[in-house]
Structure 1
Amino acid sequence: MDRACIFWGKLKLDANEPQKVRCLPLAAHSLDVAYVLRALAELPGFRRALERAAGRALRPTDLDRLAVLATLHDMGKANLDFQRQIDPGYRQKVGHIRAMAAILDPEVGEASLFNRWLEALPPEFQDWFSDDETAFSYFYAILSHHGRPVKFGGKDEDRRRSLHGWTPGPEGDPFAAIRELVAWARGVFPLAFQEDPERLTLPDSPAFVHRFAGLLMLADWLGSHEHWFPIRPVTFEERLAHARDVVPRLLRGVGLDVRSLRPHLGRIRSFEERFGFPPNSVQERIEHLDPEDDRTRLLILESETGSGKTEAALNWFFKLFAAGKVDGLYFALPTRVAARELYTRVHRAMERWFPDPLERPVTVLAVPGYAQVDGLPVSQVLPAEGEGNRWQEDEGLRLHERRWAAERPKRFLAATVAVGTVDQALLSVVKAAHAHLRSVSLDRSLLVVDEVHASDAYMTHLLEALVRHHHRIGGYAMLISATLGASARQRYLRAAGGAGENVGWASAVEAPYPRITLADGSGLAVPSGREKRVRFTLLPLAQKLEEVAAEIIRHLRSGARVLVVLNTVSRAVSLQKMIEAHPDLNQEWLFRCRGHQGREVVTLHHGRFAPEDRVILDACVSRRLGRGSEGGPILLIGTQTLEQSLDLDADVLITDLVPADVLLQRVGRLHRHNRQDRPEPYRQPASCFVLVPEGDLSAALDEKGNVRTAYKALGYGSVYEDLRMLELTRRMLAGRPDVVIPRDNRLLVESVTHPERLELLADESLPWRRHMEGREGADLSKGIAANYIVASFDEHFGEAEFNVDGAKVTTRLGADTLQVPLSRPVISPFGQTLREITIPAHWAPENPPDEVIVEAAEEGVEAILRFGTHLYRYSRYGLEVISDGKGNRPEPEVV
């Protein structure tokens, strides 16, 4: 064992010579992290949140004291049994957090060790805390820097495992090592130890301690990275000089310190200069909002699909960023494909506003499996680990600074500008690991949540919690929707402390649309832009896909671009196969992409394609049906992936029955562009055909109000759980087939989602009443489940427990997938080399193995894959389940 390394904070083993060890002294590593935390706390966004939580302004003395506490975050590493792990043969190992159990566990801790620990700490600590409970909360917070609040469980095993290592040995005295940490802290943060004329203690608010804990987690991530903080023996003077030189550059490089960027925006004075076109009415209203008006800390923007809400949100970010109100942007979308599609637009805006790439905010696509930084895949811009471990003034290595936030999903929210899925933001307010890291990173940013709906009680409760917390710490948020009901709008206003009284159905229908609502509930009406007339035709063919195929061919013969959006992948794939086999089909009408070896591949669009292939598919959709694309008949079949973010234009829409708010999203792809080559029969009004069962949906319910299995295959009761919304939508369209958008948006949405309307069906029959009771019970259960996992930042550390499985949370949000390596590479139908496959968690075996076995593969055509007991096929139709080993197939899902 290399005794010269004791007491070490970081180790690096030589891959070629395992016996050779490089080490960084514990005091040096502790200084690195503390210096980063001290610098982070000075940054405007973080400081604003800290001061909000504290309830007072923070002084340099306060920040120095926090930095001293950060110096002690790894004090458990002073335990000699931890230190002796440098010897590969040493077996009495202990983790550096649990090492503190013998000292700080109130149930089994040793009083003698606790007293020795107190003696090693600065005597000035007695003036830093208002009471013992607050002091212990801070100490438990600094021990929680690995992601979860520490709570010792009174386990005698923890005490026994850590007890021996606190006894002085030949290597030295553990408490002397803690005293060395204090000595280094005295040399760096002197204000902490000077007598305070104001006699103020550190803030005792639990909310403040939680913000401090999150900032420490972030500081530990940064301060532990060997790229910036080399692992080598150093003196105090050497490490302090290094920190003073590196940390300011580091925070600018990773995009956390953005103060130098703001002056570059002064030259851009108008919306038209920012985007290259004049603002429409929605964008004009946002342009004239005042960032200094506290009511603008929450904006709810309701406007029809395609009305420029994205640019309105980006413009609001521009104004807030230039005014110093926010230091970043997180743009949250409901799906990965929506986030990836929007990312390109956001990145182009950053390029326009900041032409110099060295003076441009870091822009991250925060989606696992699709991650990009500054427009490039992460794999192309991050240096290899070995290169990243050398501190050099090399331009290639400096890229590592800008790309730091993209290395791990936990850090996505730390990017200056990030576009990702809403689940990443929601994970910042649940009792899951690294919630504090996510939360404190989000504190500094404008949170934009796009395509907000009110159809899922679980999601709504979590989003309310996120809005409540973000507003409470002084953050700015913007919720965007084409179809938000009044009840949901009022809930979000209440979450932000605004006027959130319930609104009756009649009043809700009369509310202006489009509309911008401020945090106090006041609204700004927005003049409507271009109107679109839509004629809805109900086709009783939901259970007769073969007849739907004939209907599609009728429109294709008339020269129409036909978009079909179905509720489940299985229905979409079945219809695709039927239409391909139809005797009257002209094969040239089918949507296709260039595939392996340049051949054309007929396909469809849904969420069960590999990420590499989804990039190809989305680009094909944009080329063939996007702005400026050629006319002529074409058929594109897909699922919910087509209703969000993709900028495509269809002459005819054929859709499964969905709630009115979702239907309006789908209709947003109908007559989206002002095309001159639209076939005459499809010019006005726009044609939308809705597939419904024969008769009303009461036939879908059994006597207990449950949805019959045959109807679940249509997405009723599975994808869309509340049949009341489906039936009310069906009746609305039957009685009012001609609709003008956006004029009638309010009427459609409120007539289907408002609580007063949902109660109407309960009086018609016992099955409807029981279905209503079942849905209300399920929503209540979802609300309880959501409230259970929501983090309370008002509990002291030592009491708080974050024991929620983050994977299960993302599963409930529909965002959880497994990215599993393939046993050998496979060439996809679209010519991509697949080395891993994305499998929905609910399609995976109970105990998933480490890789997917490629049992058979025809290059560029299909592959048969085995994952434990499950068998799959991957082809031009995407990923399909052949068998789960028990003869079962998965339930329909939203994809």
Structure 2
Amino acid sequence: MGGKRREPWGKSGELPGDFHHLAHHCADVAACFEAITALPTIRARLEAAAGAPLSARCLARLTALVFLHDIGKLHPGFQAKGWLPAERPALLRGHVAEGLALLMRLSSQGAGDAARVRLQLGLPDLDWWDDLHPFILASLSHHGRPLDAPAVATGWEAAAPSGTTYDPAEGARIIGTAMRSWFPDAFAGSPAADSPAAGLSADDDDNPPLAPRLQHLFAGLVALSDWLGSDRDFFDFEAAFRDDYIDTARARALKAVAAIRLDVEAMRRPAAGRTGFTALTGFAVPAAHQQATAEVPADRRLVILEAETGAGKTEAAVWRFARLFAAGAVDGLYFALPTRSAALQIHGRVNRLLERLTGPDGLKAVLAVPGYLKVGDAVGTALPHWRVRWDDEGERAEDELAARWAAENARRFLAAPVAVGTVDQAMLAALQVKHAHLRGACLSRSLLVVDEVHASDRYMGEILAKLLDIHLGAGGHALLMSATLGSRARTRWLGGTRAPDFAAAVAAPYPAVWAARGASKGAASASPAASPAASPTASADDPRARRKTVAMSLAPGWSAQEAADRALAAARSKAKVLVIRNTVTAAVATWEAVRAAGGDDVLLQLSSGPALHHGRFAAEDREALDDAVEKALSPGPERPDGGMIVIGTQTLEQSLDIDADHLVTDLCPVDVLLQRLGRLHRHAGVARPTGFAAPSCVVLAPGDGLEPLLAPRFENGLGAFQADSSLSGVYMDLSVLELTRRLVAGQAKWTIPDHNRLLVESALHEDRIEDLHAELGGGWSAYRDKLLGIIGAMAQAAHGVVVSAKAPFGEERFPGDDAAIRTRLGAEGARLTFPAPVNSPFGHPVSALTLPAHWSRGLDPAAPVTVERDGDALRVAVDGRRFRYDRRGVTKEGGK
């Protein structure tokens, strides 16, 4: 056929003929890379990963590689996707393998044609090109997984349909000429800079260092640049090539990088004058551990804060961020929580602190929890074609809406200047899953705060360790926080090889702030992380620094009736009672026992009826339940009169600002128990009923002790059940549980925080566990040996799925299907999306339910979901399985 010669397109719209020239798209992405790497913090991360300064010419050469990220789209088989059906070849092609065939000279077929295209690009077969293969591969891997170069480079095979007007070599000539014109520094210094074959010399000092950490970070930045450079809201299409288009691309890139707040300089200016503790938090005087956390020098990039629940660790973390942010050491904050419910709660607190730091029009925190679209107080609704409608869209300026870019896709959460979410969202940056490098590059600019670091199992702990290696290795900053971190875990995080003995572990200060070379003094210090720790002095006027002595007692059983009777007795004496059971099954049974005993009037109320709190509620109902719990156990003037029972699971342990008069809890490891005690008498000045002026706690334990669980046996969260050849459970370490039980039975008064260090080490330290085994005999040590073997297997399993930033990019093969890795990480089941929102048992419109992971095995996530009303309850069916949703939460039909 005749007619005008076709030009190569790089992006296409929904309408026929709506194209963006390939050279223009390549320029958009390269310009984004230029703008992003010009940011001081990103530049510092690149140089930390490289282990050396990077010259302007080196960055220009990296930019040229970014420019070629989609060069495989020159292939006629790809271009034909935009032609009329009659003009297309029989076999259409992609562009990744084709790009590899061009840039890495792996083509075995059509070699002559590929050589002609390479020559027109200005990339002849020179030795220096092979030296940069990891960077080329990283650029071509911008879709999310490292490419397997030998496997996917299937050749160029450039034969186009007879009579077409498209010539890939002509397109290559345009792109090659534009590349040399638009990025001249990348090709300067070679003997033949003006020739099509101009390139880099093999021994040029301005070549990118072949540092694996740099290669991995570069891969993530290319992916980020491609995401942004492909966004039509910022980069509109131009189909006809313009030799000055690079000016347009660069102007658009600068605007885009500022709009989505990768460039935060405008936010840094107002923050500079508001980094004082009082200005940021509203409290007059910081606690000693808060002061120490903030004042650890910026060159100590890993900090550990240990302080009791309710001691203001969140404020300490945001204060450290504020100081690092104002100083230009970080551009963002990712606050990682162990659970979705904790993230929901902390999100609001962080937003309030951000407003004090950067003003009402300043930084807003993204809620980085899949299934939610929330930035600050604004809530979004997902629309077709990956669009989002925000509930305040008509009230906000265009730049404010653009600043929510990172919130509109879970893969981009970590690109937000501030995000609050679950720890697994950060851990995905360290796993062999799609878009890991994108997440890691985005996270590198932020202070990574991991709250409740003690809550991770060994699998999660190994992944977190790898994440810290990647993050700190690229110059990032991290803060780990815990109320109850044992000495062995602390030693590991700080890079030590030998934990202290029991006496030394107990003698360590608490609260304390630790850095790489030791613990900081509790009070302000000129060199806080350089000297051994000393016991901090708490501020007398800081309510979060109070001591409390808890009366502890051990119940002889833990039936639902036992828990209900004790809760009812306290509630009838007008106490606010918190009941925390280890499993949903036990929580529901206890709630039903209270109701059967006529206790509806003292149970938590929501929507004119009794309620309880756990993780098996729809997201909309969980928010309402969180709010109801906080109001029922409020420490403020809205605290209701009379007795109240709030029953739930581990969802009540963290982040909710609640204050109970009395606690009834299942036996659990001492670190978890201390976390639960943090919800008891949390604030000063709260009016307490007679008999509850001092905090008190009843710990429910199996009536026949723990030894029967060695079988192994699983009961209400303790012990383990056999799963294939392994063991599974919630709290499986029976030795730690027995030592905790003995602490409760043998020490009637626990003073918090004075006893925290002693209590934690008395149950977690290996010296005490060995003493216990010597007393109780071989059955206990045999069980724990088996458990340690499982824990070791967990570590090995984690090692097999993490990214190694020390290996050259491309050496690791990511799995094609990473669902198993994600499932093991998040331990969350299928999300059942309803055909349309429907009113829940509490009267709230809900759109989806998330099942427990063990209920989701073998479930087809694409199967249609049906919803039927059964009175106030809902009956949900999917893939042959049926569930019921009522005031108890989600249950399987025929079971709980």
TM-score between both structures, scaled by the size of structure 2: 0.90
Q: Which structure 2 residues correspond to residues 765-780 of structure 1 after superposition, within 5 A?
A: 765-780=777-792
Q: Does the CA-based 8 Å contact 2:290-2:313 persist in structure 1? A: no
Partner residue of 2:343 out of 339, 343, 350: 339
For the residues of structure 2 that align with 1:468 and 1:169, how far apart are their CA atoms? Answer: 56
Are residues 1:364 and 2:390 paired?
A: no
Letter in 1 for 2:546: R
SS in 1 for 2:19: strand
Q: Which moved more, 1:242-251 or 1:416-425?
A: 242-251
Q: Which structure 2 residues correspond to residues 883-894 of structure 1 after superposition, within 5 A?
A: none
For the residues of structure 2 that align with 1:719 and 1:181, how far apart are their CA atoms? Answer: 58
Q: Does the CA-based 8 Å contact 1:329-1:417 persist in structure 2? A: yes
For the residues of structure 1 that align with 2:395 and 2:120, how far apart are their CA atoms? Answer: 42
Give the deviation of 1:454 after TM superposition.
Answer: 5.9
CA distance 1:5–1:413, shift in 2 (3 Å): farther
Q: Does the CA-based 8 Å contact 1:286-1:316 persist in structure 2? A: no
Q: Which structure 2 residues correspond to residues 33-182 of structure 1 after superposition, within 5 A?
A: 33-87=29-83, 89=85, 90=88, 91-100=90-99, 102-103=101-102, 104=104, 106=106, 111-113=111-113, 115-122=115-122, 129=128, 132=130, 134-154=131-151, 159=154, 162-165=156-159, 170-182=164-176
SS in 1 for 2:27: helix
Give the deviation of 1:83 after TM superposition.
Answer: 0.8
Deviations 1:644-669 (A, max 9, x none): 00000111101111000000000000
Deviations 1:154-211 (A, max 9, x none): 47xx637x52457997232223323322222223222112217974322111221111
Alignment correspondent of 1:419: 420
Give the deviation of 1:239 after TM superposition.
Answer: 3.2
Deviations 1:108-161 (A, max 9, x none): 56654553354234359959x4x72x3221221111000000013447xx637x
CA RMSD of aligned residues (A): 2.8
Alignment correspondent of 1:256: 262
Alignment correspondent of 2:525: none
Q: Which structure 2 residues correspond to residues 493-572 of structure 1 after superposition, within 5 A?
A: 493-494=494-495, 499-524=496-521, 525=534, 526-528=536-538, 529-542=545-558, 544-572=559-587
For the residues of structure 1 that align with 2:125 and 2:266, how far apart are their CA atoms? Answer: 36
For the residues of structure 1 that align with 2:6 and 2:395, how far apart are their CA atoms? Answer: 29
Are residues 1:788 and 2:797 paired?
A: no
Q: Does the CA-based 8 Å contact 2:863-2:878 persist in structure 1? A: yes
Q: Which moved more, 1:268-277 or 1:617-626?
A: 268-277
TM-score between both structures, scaled by the size of structure 1: 0.90
Letter in 1 for 2:154: R
Q: Does the CA-based 8 Å contact 2:10-2:23 persist in structure 1? A: yes
Alignment correspondent of 2:200: none
For structure 2, the residue ranges without an aligned partner over 5 or more in a row are 192-203, 522-533, 539-544, 722-726
Letter in 2 for 1:62: C
Partner residue of 2:822 out of 810, 814, 823: 810
For structure 1, the residue ranges without an aligned partner over 5 or more in a row are 15-19, 595-599, 884-888, 891-895
Alignment correspondent of 1:693: 702
CA distance 1:375–1:251, shift in 2 (3 Å): same
For the residues of structure 2 that align with 1:168 and 1:101, how far apart are their CA atoms? Answer: 25
Give the deviation of 1:713 after TM superposition.
Answer: 9.1
Q: Does the CA-based 8 Å contact 2:604-2:612 persist in structure 1? A: yes
For the residues of structure 2 that align with 1:105 and 1:762, how far apart are their CA atoms? Answer: 63
Are residues 1:719 and 2:730 paired?
A: yes
Alignment correspondent of 1:797: 809
For the residues of structure 1 that align with 2:691 and 2:135, how far apart are their CA atoms? Answer: 71
Alignment correspondent of 2:756: 745
Alignment correspondent of 1:822: 834
For the residues of structure 2 that align with 1:540 and 1:394, how far apart are their CA atoms? Answer: 60
SS in 2 for 1:839: strand
SS in 1 for 2:762: helix
Are residues 1:282 and 2:288 paired?
A: yes
For the residues of structure 2 that align with 1:394 and 1:65, how far apart are their CA atoms? Answer: 44
Aligned residues: 849
SS in 1 for 2:730: coil
Partner residue of 1:214 out of 209, 220, 226: 220
For the residues of structure 2 that align with 1:540 and 1:449, how far apart are their CA atoms? Answer: 37
SS in 2 for 1:159: coil
Q: Does the CA-based 8 Å contact 2:108-2:154 persist in structure 1? A: yes
CA distance 1:221–1:696, shift in 2 (3 Å): same
Q: Does the CA-based 8 Å contact 1:298-1:478 persist in structure 2? A: yes
SS in 2 for 1:21: coil
For the residues of structure 1 that align with 2:69 and 2:628, how far apart are their CA atoms? Answer: 51
Identity of aligned residues (%): 39
Alignment correspondent of 2:629: 621
Letter in 2 for 1:23: F
For the residues of structure 2 that align with 1:214 and 1:348, how far apart are their CA atoms? Answer: 31
For the residues of structure 1 that align with 2:124 and 2:336, how far apart are their CA atoms? Answer: 45
Q: Which structure 2 residues correspond to residues 198-597 of structure 1 after superposition, within 5 A?
A: 199-237=205-243, 239-268=245-274, 270-282=276-288, 284-286=290-292, 289-292=295-298, 294-295=299-300, 297-357=301-361, 360-379=362-381, 396-453=397-454, 456-494=457-495, 499-524=496-521, 525=534, 526-528=536-538, 529-542=545-558, 544-583=559-598, 585=599, 587-594=600-607
Deviations 1:476-527 (A, max 9, x none): 1100000000110111111xxxx55321122111111010001222432422
CA distance 1:167–1:62, shift in 2 (3 Å): farther
Are residues 1:28 and 2:24 paired?
A: yes
Q: Does the CA-based 8 Å contact 1:725-1:753 persist in structure 2? A: yes
SS in 2 for 1:420: strand
Q: Which moved more, 1:368-377 or 1:870-879?
A: 368-377
Give the deviation of 1:801 after TM superposition.
Answer: 1.6
For the residues of structure 2 that align with 1:575 and 1:394, how far apart are their CA atoms? Answer: 47
For the residues of structure 2 that align with 1:174 and 1:117, how far apart are their CA atoms? Answer: 7
Q: Which structure 2 residues correspond to residues 595-610 of structure 1 after superposition, within 5 A?
A: 600-610=608-618
Deviations 1:841-868 (A, max 9, x none): 3322514153553352046x11111111
SS in 1 for 2:265: coil
Q: Which moved more, 1:762-771 or 1:726-735?
A: 762-771
Q: Does the CA-based 8 Å contact 1:329-1:447 persist in structure 2? A: yes
Q: Which moved more, 1:763-772 or 1:55-64?
A: 763-772
For the residues of structure 1 that align with 2:456 and 2:358, how far apart are their CA atoms? Answer: 39
SS in 2 for 1:655: strand
Give the deviation of 1:426 after TM superposition.
Answer: 0.8
CA distance 1:624–1:386, shift in 2 (3 Å): closer
Give the deviation of 1:436 after TM superposition.
Answer: 0.3
Deviations 1:24-55 (A, max 9, x none): 11111110000000111111221111101112
For the residues of structure 2 that align with 1:610 and 1:522, how far apart are their CA atoms? Answer: 43
Letter in 1 for 2:703: E
Alignment correspondent of 1:677: 687
CA distance 1:167–1:508, shift in 2 (3 Å): farther
For the residues of structure 2 that align with 1:710 and 1:644, how far apart are their CA atoms? Answer: 20
Letter in 2 for 1:375: D
Give the deviation of 1:462 after TM superposition.
Answer: 1.2
Q: Which structure 2 residues correspond to residues 182-201 of structure 1 after superposition, within 5 A?
A: 182-195=176-189, 199-201=205-207
Q: Does the CA-based 8 Å contact 2:146-2:809 persist in structure 1? A: yes
For the residues of structure 1 that align with 2:650 and 2:84, how far apart are their CA atoms? Answer: 53
Give the deviation of 1:57 after TM superposition.
Answer: 1.1
SS in 2 for 1:261: helix
Q: Which moved more, 1:818-827 or 1:24-33?
A: 818-827
Letter in 2 for 1:61: R
Alignment correspondent of 2:646: 636
